[in-house]
Amino acid sequence: MENSEKKKEINSSVKMKPLSQKQRERMQELCGILDEAGRAYYQEAREIMSNREYDQLYDELAALEKESGVILAGSPTVKVGYEVLSELPKETHESPMLSLDKTKEVEGLKEFLGEKEGVLSWKLDGLTVVLTYRQGKLEKAVTRGNGEIGEIITNNAKTFVNLPHIIPYQGELVIRGEAIIKYSDFEKLNAGMPESQMTYKNPRNLCSGSVRQLNNEITAKRSVNFYAFSLIKAQGVDFENSLSRQFSWLEEQGFQVVEHYMVNADQVEERVSFFEEKIKTYDLPSDGLVLIFEDIAYGLSLGRTAKFPRNGIAFKWADELAQTTLREIEWSPSRTGLINPVAIFEPVELEGTTVSRASVHNISIMEELKLGIGDKITVYKANMIIPQIHENLTRSNQLPIAHSCPACGEKTEIRNENDVKYLYCPNEQCPAKIIKSFTHFVGRDAMNVDGLSEETLEKFIQQGYIHEYGDLFHLDQYEDEIVGMKGFGQRSFDKVRESVEKARNTTLVRLIYSLGIANIGLSNAKMLVRQFDYDLDKLLSATVEEMTEIDGIGEVIANSFAKYFAKEENRERFKRLLAELHIQEEKKGDAQILEGKNFVVTGSVEHFTNRNAVKEWVESLGGKVTGSVTGKTNYLINNDNQSNSSKNKKAKELGIPIITEEEFIQMTGWREE
């Protein structure tokens, strides 16, 4: 068939009378009535209507389906067979499903739109699913998965209560949407659970588990709905370059779409307020809003970064606060001797998870909050991840500071560092210090040894298998004992042995960082190693004065490094460790062409893996990356160099060049490996 004829055929299928909201509601009502009547007749041996009444309603439904070309899930005119699978097959998405960049400020939405119009909609909090229809029938459903590979859940999707199985459009249609369980349905399902069974934490968790069931009969009982939010492909249909037209067309095909509104920069704030008010009683779980350019071609022309498409942006709700009661303060020792206060409080639900503890960080913050046992406090998750105390409503100020280390019993010390008070254990042999120093040593950015958790390391230390870092490379002599440990086995031991052997080949930066020297973080280790030409002998013989001459290395860092290697015991242990390792030559910049130059990196990057990779490259060339634009900044790297972001504005005010990633690459000669 010629392309023109094929296009005519596809378009002709769309000329069928569009499904109206009234028709949809009537069809849903009829499906419910007929389903209830069928269940009563076939499963409960009772009649709630005559055969004549049933046939009349059935015929009415069939006529509506024929008129609109839409058949909804649950319709008695189609049957969904139940199937039990051993596992869900996986499939690679045709194009990666990237997340949207985010903002928590309305101004960020205005800045994103500029002079353009956009479509503002709910950001539903369920499970993203990709649907494919061919010749008017649902052919495939795949979960988002990790964005590249998802799980095929076609039979489960056929049980979604509002999803059309058959649509009037006959071409290939690919759409994305959110599988959702409504709050009202979630409460009913929880209420119907036996008391002996644990109830589900939130609708999203229940939905995720329901959609990914191996038995789709279970999915069918969970009242999962589907709301379309993105049209990926619709062969032969002209949407007149309009996103809102795509939404309307999907509704005409029988899909329910996310609630959405056209806005410009002047209307955004008012519409966000509308959504914020509505979410208080909204029956669908939502964790924010999504703003996409109405002009489809313009949005696509912006391309995408390695992480985000540039045609849209997500607006996240303000951090959720919860009120609770402080139970106790737990004092947690670290590898440096610092003892962190950790608040333990009555468990509360935050951002879909249960939290019961939050770090208070130091004595000064604890005193500012005026904490006391039994105080009413409010907590939140910083960036929706890390639990924090927001406010102390009672402020009883009756919390004593620990006088002894909880790990070794040594008398504690309060030290004032930069006008901030910290609690320390001065005991060099404190068990907590030793355990946590080993945990740091095997960490990802240090020696990167897999399979050695803090709990496992503690057992090894208690059994006398390890006393110093070099002992980790001789665990073979305790193989039988370790294999016989509870929770361990031959496979676990082999994994640790393999990882330890791999860790023998390391870099000087990793080695210095792994030692856990106070105040020596990964970036400081890089600065020190680079300054002394990646030469260990030069580094170890450097004086405090030589180290403080390095930009970014102050007296505190230099003294910490010198103090560590001034101890004979540390030097001897380091020599024994060094004998176990092979120090690889590290990748260096061609020359220190950025020496003395300060950079700020903002926004998304396309060629580098992330902004941290940019930072590493700058540092390898002798430059420095800071977090804010100041008079000392030489360049601001921003791919969106025409935006009105605060960093761009500051750079323009100070006359600092704003360069793109491409320009930075040309400047430094970076090549992607």
Q: Which residues are catalytic?
A: 123
Angle among Cα 352, 356, 360 to the nearest 5 degrees reads 115
Asked if 439 and 335 touch (Cβ cutoff 8 Å), the reply is: yes
Q: Which of 54, 93, 104 is nearest to 174 (CA)?
A: 93
CB neighbourhood size of 40 (10 A): 14
Beta strand 658-659 pairing with 635-637? parallel
DSSP characters for 344-372? Answer: EEEEEEETTEEEEEEE--SHHHHHHHT--
DSSP characters for 513-537? Answer: HHTT-TT--HHHHHHHHHHTTT-HH
The widest CA-to-CA distance across the chain, in whole angstroms, is: 98
Residues whose CB falls within 8 Å of the CB of residue 80, separated by 6 or more in sequence, listed in order? 73, 155, 158, 159, 165, 216, 220
For 32, which DSSP code?
H
Beta strand 286-293 pairing with 118-124? antiparallel
Q: Measured on CA atoms in the order 550, 555, 556, 558, is the torsion positive or negative?
A: positive
Asked if 529 and 509 touch (Cβ cutoff 8 Å), the reply is: yes
CB neighbourhood size of 569 (10 A): 9
How far apart are alpha carbons 524 and 563 in whole angstroms? 16
How far apart are alpha carbons 626 and 126 in whole angstroms? 37
How far apart are alpha carbons 661 and 169 in whole angstroms? 43
Q: How far is CA 376 from CA 281, 397, 574, in A?
A: 27, 12, 49
CB neighbourhood size of 161 (10 A): 18
